[in-house]
Structure 1
Amino acid sequence: MPSLIFLLLLILIITSTSTLEFRYHSNREIEQILTQISLSNPDITHLYSIGKSVRGQQLWVLALGLRPRQHTLGIPEFKYVGNMHGNEVLGRELLLHLADELVQGYRSGESWSVQLLNSTRIHVLPTMNPDGFDEARTHCQYSQGRYNSNGVDLNRNFPDAFAGPKNQRQLTEKEREAEVRAVIGWLQTETFVLSANLHGGALVASYPYDNSNGGSEQVHRSSVAPDDDVFVHLAKVYSQNHGSMHRGDVCNDGLTFPDGITNGYQWYPLSGGMQDYNYIWAQCLEITLEVSCCKFPPVSQLPVMWTENRKSLLAFIKQVHLGVKGQVFDSSGHAVRDAIVEVEGRTNLCPFRTDRHGEYYRLLLPGNYSFTVRYPGHQVLTETLEVPYGPNHYTAMKHDFHLRRAVDNATQATTSRVSPTPTCNYTTGVDSSGTLVVHAWTELSMLLALVAAVQSMMC
């Protein structure tokens, strides 16, 4: 009987037709739209939840790709996150239209969509702060709704590698907000390569670092990341493909951003931010996109704002194919986890490591780079690679590293000795029992979403 009900609901959803309107959708409507897209396109989409907000609202993510339900070797993981601040709302609608456009383009055989979905697994989280959205008002700059239900700014609640001894990194798991715990758990289940989070209140692409402790990273008024050249490139890809962001002075607020981009710290220091956490702990290069001068733009402006951002959103996804990707194999030919893959001249606070599949991804601009690979019990491997520009071909350069075992004292001297730092050992996302805090998509929650969608269509 349950399977019959599910089948009937599925038929109702698939046979229904609707057009995504240019208006602001409620959290319930977003759930219904994502459900309908997923059930109508099960071969290229997968709907799942990474957890719940403080008030118990699901944090829904739509994955799109040729194999949307699980990672595929060689296919990079990409994500967009919207509505982190509940009253910064344009990102919600942009991401809904992006998902709809990708699916419709794929169904129509549009090459840009087919190539993106065949080469990339794209994750879209339209709202990270649904509770804040429920409290938001339509004022252009008014802050009501910015915070989550506990009155906490989610973009100040992540661990911070630059903070002092009494920093946010020392917060207990229970002291972190539910939405932040959900995202951290999400980052521990997927090896995201590239990401952007969408905000409002300005028109600029901001990149790491957002914070500094006055160390070598601080150069004049900026806090410079080891991959600064890549971050500048990524920010420019978005701003230069945007209808007006590249001008740098569109909002008439006295602020000027050359080329429409800025180093986060140079704009204003920020502790506990999500983009720094992604980069330092999850080796995912993330930037922050301020996509509207008004936090809550008038509905009448939505079609124009979608047109201004559409090309940028798609061009930015393609940048996940920069640089080099591949696997690291031990002396027995097995792909190994936690092998360190370093690029000369780029000393990351947390070394980039291979994931559970033995894979690594390094976003790099075209050029020659010296790679050093370390894995316990094996000789240190150093190779120089000439890296082409991959986005035009929807694939980064593929190169596997094959290690040789150390067999005597002489070669032991050149084996990997990895001493994890306290920063990189941080285990947020694991509860007191050592169990990873991940809220998986369930049949029950999906069924409830189905029923809600059907009820909406019958009204």
Structure 2
Amino acid sequence: MNKNLLFYLLLLLAFTLSSASSEDSKNNSYAIRARHLLEDNLSQAQTIVDLAQGYMTNADLERAIKEFGQRCNTISRIYSIGKSVNGVPLWVIEISDKPGEEEIEPAFKYIGNVHGDEPVGRELLIFLANWLCDNHLKDPLATLVVENVHLHILPSMNPDGFSLRRRGNANNIDLNRDFPDQFFPVNDDEDSRQPETRAIMNWLRDIRFTASATLHGGALLANYPWDGTEDKKTNYYGTPDDDTFRFMASIYSHSHYNMSSSKEFPGGITNGAAWYPIYGGMQDWNYIHAGCFELTLEVSDNKWPNAAELPVIWIYNKMSMLNLVASLVKTGVHGRIYSSGDGRPLPGFITVSGINYTVRAGIFFGDYHRILVPRDRYQVVATMPGYKSKNTSIWLDEGPVTLDFVLDAEVSVKGSVLQNVYDCNCNSKCRQDFVQFIWGVHLELYFAFILILGFFCLLFQRRVKAKSLRAKRVVVV
């Protein structure tokens, strides 16, 4: 019995020691895993801190913009469209052969850093500005852009979000959800919108942009409107200009190093609502309220890649960024609207049959720029209140078409000059005095005056006829 008891005691002791050893091992395992988790968290925190290394700070960006303005002052203008929540100026670079002047040229804008944690766009836009400055008059594409387009570049719409390393602005509002929405009243009170949003809206009231693009990160594709749907479901929902937007998006995608080879998005492009619906987005607002065709460009799979990768990302996106701007003058329909009465420009409207969208001509020059898909026949219509509308058919193939319209005023018989003459309430004595004056000593002078006036009218008529013959190819009268 004593031997058996001793055996059981020894067995129990061995089991206890084994359990203790197992528990210690388990505790050690937990400790190791906890240490690794802590190290991972520390590494992640360190990574967040290091994200901005090599990127321009807001102060660096402002300095780079102003230095660019001094270096390239013959083809650029620096201005601000407002300030962020924290008072950081929203600086814009305008690049043109006549910066700051009103011209009959289309205007294009690039906007970067809409989301604070997507800073690649602000870097690429500085690359773009410097490349245009260095290659103007050297590279044909650079020369085309500078001399035929007014390009406006806003490198950072959200400098506060960049400083905070987060998506939203200083009030933690997603600026790409802060615009008026066509489907749902996201924010109807303009005064309650974010200052960055209001700055963009006021900017587009001042400048009539033909097209634009915003640079984002986190994917690789060119996104086009609509961004939302009426039922909030993820479905393809195209604008009246869906073909044109697909054409623009394809220009960017196919000019990119590898965007068009995407396996997730055929051709590297997508309709916004088919990808995921958003409301209060900037590109939809541009098209509806500002007559501006805007794309949302996702230019990097990584939202915040290592700064050493930025030169490569620029090379991948360079031709895309240039070709998208150049497409404004390489295709489409462009022209002016005039009054046949006095030849003055008219701020009329251009529509295309079959497309439920109107483009407005400029106030000063009556100029318009209508982006359309090449290789198709279009019926273009010009209208202006108080004038008779006119239309013509065009074939849009490889190049742009210049098409001017001369509109005739709708004259009312009651308000005509002839009616006013006969409505004169002159008495008989006035008429007698007038006849005596005409047949008096001044008769010869009147004949001479009439002959001189007729000569100048004939000369003017010949010049107008010669000019109209030269412009017959592009003018609709």
* TM-score, normalised by the number of residues in structure 1: 0.75
Structure number with greater Rg is: 2
Deviations, residues 215-244 of structure 1 (Å, cap 9, x unaligned): 9xx9x9211111111111111111111112
1:129-278 to 2 correspondence within 5 Å?
Answer: 129-136=158-165, 145-163=166-184, 167-168=185-186, 170=188, 172-213=189-230, 221-249=235-263, 256-278=264-286
Is the CA contact (8 Å cut-off) linking 1:23 and 1:302 kept in structure 2?
no
What secondary structure is seen at the aligned counterpart in 2 of 1:246? helix
Aligned to 2:455: none
Q: 1:302 aligns with which of 304, 310, 319?
A: 310
Per the TM alignment, residue 60 of structure 1 is displaced from its structure 2 partner at its CA by: 0.4
| Structure 1 residue runs of 4 or more that deviate by more than 4 Å after TM superposition | none
Aligned to 1:330: 339
Taking only the aligned residue pairs, the percentage that are identical comes to 39
Is the CA contact (8 Å cut-off) linking 2:229 and 2:235 kept in structure 1?
no
| 2:72 counterpart of 1:41 | yes
Provide the aligned length of Structure 1 versus Structure 2: 357
Deviations, residues 47-98 of structure 1 (Å, cap 9, x unaligned): 010111111110000011101122312x111111000001001101110101
Please give the alpha-carbon distance, in whole angstroms, between the structure 2 residues aligned to 1:341 and 1:371: 7
* TM-score, normalised by the number of residues in structure 2: 0.72
Aligned to 1:252: none
Higher relative contact order (CA 8 A, sep 6+): 1
Per the TM alignment, residue 408 of structure 1 is displaced from its structure 2 partner at its CA by: 4.8
Is the CA contact (8 Å cut-off) linking 2:291 and 2:359 kept in structure 1?
yes
Please give the alpha-carbon distance, in whole angstroms, between the structure 1 residues aligned to 2:406 and 2:164: 54
Name the amino acid aligned to 2:346.
V
| 2:97 counterpart of 1:66 | yes
Please give the alpha-carbon distance, in whole angstroms, between the structure 2 residues aligned to 1:117 and 1:152: 35
Q: 1:97 to 1:182 in 2, by over 3 A?
A: same
Aligned to 1:92: 122
What secondary structure is seen at the aligned counterpart in 2 of 1:352? strand
Is the CA contact (8 Å cut-off) linking 1:243 and 1:308 kept in structure 2?
yes
Deviations, residues 83-119 of structure 1 (Å, cap 9, x unaligned): 0001001101110101011101116x22221222111
Is the CA contact (8 Å cut-off) linking 1:86 and 1:130 kept in structure 2?
yes
What secondary structure is seen at the aligned counterpart in 2 of 1:51? strand
Is the CA contact (8 Å cut-off) linking 1:365 and 1:389 kept in structure 2?
no
Which structure carries more helix by proportion? 2
What secondary structure is seen at the aligned counterpart in 2 of 1:182? helix
1:3-42 to 2 correspondence within 5 Å?
Answer: 23-42=54-73
Structure 2 gap segments, 5+ residues each: 1-52, 414-477
Deviations, residues 249-272 of structure 1 (Å, cap 9, x unaligned): 4xxxxxx11111100000011111
Please give the alpha-carbon distance, in whole angstroms, between the structure 2 residues aligned to 1:65 and 1:389: 25
| 2:141 counterpart of 1:125 | no
What secondary structure is seen at the aligned counterpart in 2 of 1:223? coil
Please give the alpha-carbon distance, in whole angstroms, between the structure 2 residues aligned to 1:233 and 1:354: 23
Structure 1 gap segments, 5+ residues each: 1-21, 137-144, 250-255, 391-395, 410-459
Q: 1:379 aligns with which of 378, 384, 388?
A: 388
Please give the alpha-carbon distance, in whole angstroms, between the structure 2 residues aligned to 1:196 and 1:378: 35
Q: 1:403 to 1:214 in 2, by over 3 A?
A: farther
Per the TM alignment, residue 380 of structure 1 is displaced from its structure 2 partner at its CA by: 2.0
Per the TM alignment, residue 407 of structure 1 is displaced from its structure 2 partner at its CA by: 2.8
Q: Cα RMSD between the aligned structures? A: 1.8
| 2:384 counterpart of 1:353 | no
Please give the alpha-carbon distance, in whole angstroms, between the structure 2 residues aligned to 1:56 and 1:125: 16
Per the TM alignment, residue 195 of structure 1 is displaced from its structure 2 partner at its CA by: 0.7
Please give the alpha-carbon distance, in whole angstroms, between the structure 2 residues aligned to 1:76 and 1:374: 20
Aligned to 1:314: 322
